[in-house]
Amino acid sequence: MNESPPGPSARSLPPGNFPDRWIHGPSSPAGPPDPPIQVHRYDPATYILRESKGVSFEAPFLYLFFGADRAILFDTGTAADGRRFPLRSTVDALVNDWLVRNPREGYELVVAHTHGHSDHVSGDPQFRGRPLTRIVGRTAEEVHRFFGFSGPTAGPRAFELGGRSLLIFPIPGHHSASIAIYDARTGFLLTGDALLPGRLYVFDMESYRASVDRLVQFAQTHPVRFLMGGHVEMSREHGRDFPLGALYQPGEHPLELAPERLLPLRDALSSVASTRGIHRFDEFVLYNGVGTLTVLSEFRRGRRYNRAWRKGRLSAPETARAPREPPSR
């Protein structure tokens, strides 16, 4: 591996905490269901939310940051129906609680996205008509205009929350509107679906590699504590993911990744850049230019897994054992 020097230390940042476990689907369809949203307070001004597997197998993570003047929510999940997925009421309760502790008038909420895929933006309609709320569009043009980017390789721009400044920059490759968000308070570097412990879908390899290079460079010059992605799809066993569509994921890999994990991704992209297919690595699986038939085959594996789960036949996580480079279609 081509090692890079470590970035500034994040040890002096204020402490926060992660839950002992994230909701990951009930062990049996007959058992008590998970709540539609898990809310975790990382610190008094930082919340991480996870959508339930009962709402969607995607089970994305959402991030809510509070500042003195406004709060910002990154991603809105898979469902517009507030009865099925009560994101608006959950966020409203968190904002109201914060304002009880920090009273002020005219407090704004910004609803933005790590990228524009449907599992990250479908809850947007719940916030339409909410007072003092701005919803950022989902196209690259809308995102660039809102944050003031000059183009897809623009440098970091500050977005002020009031006593809390975020640095945001484009990272296309997975999606043309993908962005990275750095929060100096927590040391979080949000990477959306560009890097997470799971399946990494590369739709533009040249842009993806350039974006990862820029993430590496950023982490070398800023005190990044954790890389925070949009999903968890890997098990704790290296190189094994839960099947696509899985409704139950016991023994998940932790959500948070050390910033050093950017280096294996950079090296992996270099090694498979010219080879289409599914490529498995310890903490992620690269899908490089795979076709629809390949994805449908992965969904069939998920359906078999879910059938076994419904029948109580999963004695242990039945994760992937596919070869590193199956033929692509």
3-state class (DSSP) for residue 18: coil
Structure tokens at 109: 């909420």
Task: Say yes or no to pLDDT of 64 above 60.
Answer: yes
Per-residue pLDDT, 274: 95
Confidence of residue 4 (pLDDT cuts 50, 70, 90): low
- Judged on CB neighbours under 10 Å (0-12, 13-18, 19+), 181 is buried
Task: Say yes or no to pLDDT of 2 above 80.
Answer: no
Task: Say yes or no to pLDDT of 45 above 50.
Answer: yes
Structure tokens at 323: 């070869």
Give me the residue label for tokens 């090694």: 271
Structure tokens at 51: 């959508």
Confidence of residue 113 (pLDDT cuts 50, 70, 90): very high
Per-residue pLDDT, 12: 80
Per-residue pLDDT, 244: 96
Strands in 285-288's sheet, in edge-to-edge order, are: 199-202, 285-288, 277-280
Look at the chain and count its residues: 329
- Judged on CB neighbours under 10 Å (0-12, 13-18, 19+), 84 is middle
% residues pLDDT > 90 (the chain): 88
- Judged on CB neighbours under 10 Å (0-12, 13-18, 19+), 113 is buried
User: In this structure, are residues 62 and 36 in contact, taking their beta carbons and an 8 Å threshold?
Assistant: no
User: In this structure, are residues 60 and 77 in contact, taking their beta carbons and an 8 Å threshold?
Assistant: yes
Between 70-74, 222-226, 238-242, 289-293, the lowest mean confidence (pLDDT) is in 289-293
Per-residue pLDDT, 248: 97
Confidence of residue 291 (pLDDT cuts 50, 70, 90): confident
Between 208-212, 264-268, 287-291, the lowest mean confidence (pLDDT) is in 287-291
Q: Structure pTM?
A: 0.93
Confidence of residue 315 (pLDDT cuts 50, 70, 90): low
Task: Say yes or no to pLDDT of 325 above 60.
Answer: no
Task: Say yes or no to pLDDT of 47 above 90.
Answer: yes
Give me the residue label for tokens 């990250």: 120
Number of alpha carbons in the 13 Å side-chain half-sphere of residue 90: 25
Q: pLDDT (tens digit, 9 = 90+) per residue, 184-237?
A: 999 999 999 999 999 999 999 999 999 999 999 999 999 999 999 999 999 999
Q: Provide mean pLDDT across the span 85-94.
A: 98
CATH code for 37-310? 3.60.15.10
Task: Say yes or no to pLDDT of 3 above 90.
Answer: no
Task: Say yes or no to pLDDT of 321 above 50.
Answer: no
Q: pLDDT (tens digit, 9 = 90+) per residue, 11-33?
A: 788 889 999 999 999 999 998 99
Task: Say yes or no to pLDDT of 239 above 50.
Answer: yes
- Mean pLDDT, rounded, of the chain: 93
> 95-106: buried (b, 16+ CB within 10 Å) or exposed (e) per residue?
beebeeeeeeee
Give me the residue label for tokens 């909701």: 23
Strands in 108-112's sheet, in edge-to-edge order, are: 37-43, 46-51, 61-66, 70-74, 108-112, 133-135
Q: Provide mean pLDDT across the span 83-89.
A: 98
Q: Which is nearest to 111 in space by CA: 128, 94, 89?
A: 128
- Euclidean distance between the first and final Cα of the chain, in Å? 30
> With left for phi above 0 and alpha for psi between -120 and 50, is residue 132 left, alpha or beta?
left
- Amino acid letter, residue 301: R
Task: Say yes or no to pLDDT of 7 above 80.
Answer: no
Q: pLDDT (tens digit, 9 = 90+) per residue, 150-169?
A: 999 999 999 999 999 999 99
Per-residue pLDDT, 294: 87
Domains of the chain, by residue range, sit at: 37-310
Confidence of residue 138 (pLDDT cuts 50, 70, 90): very high
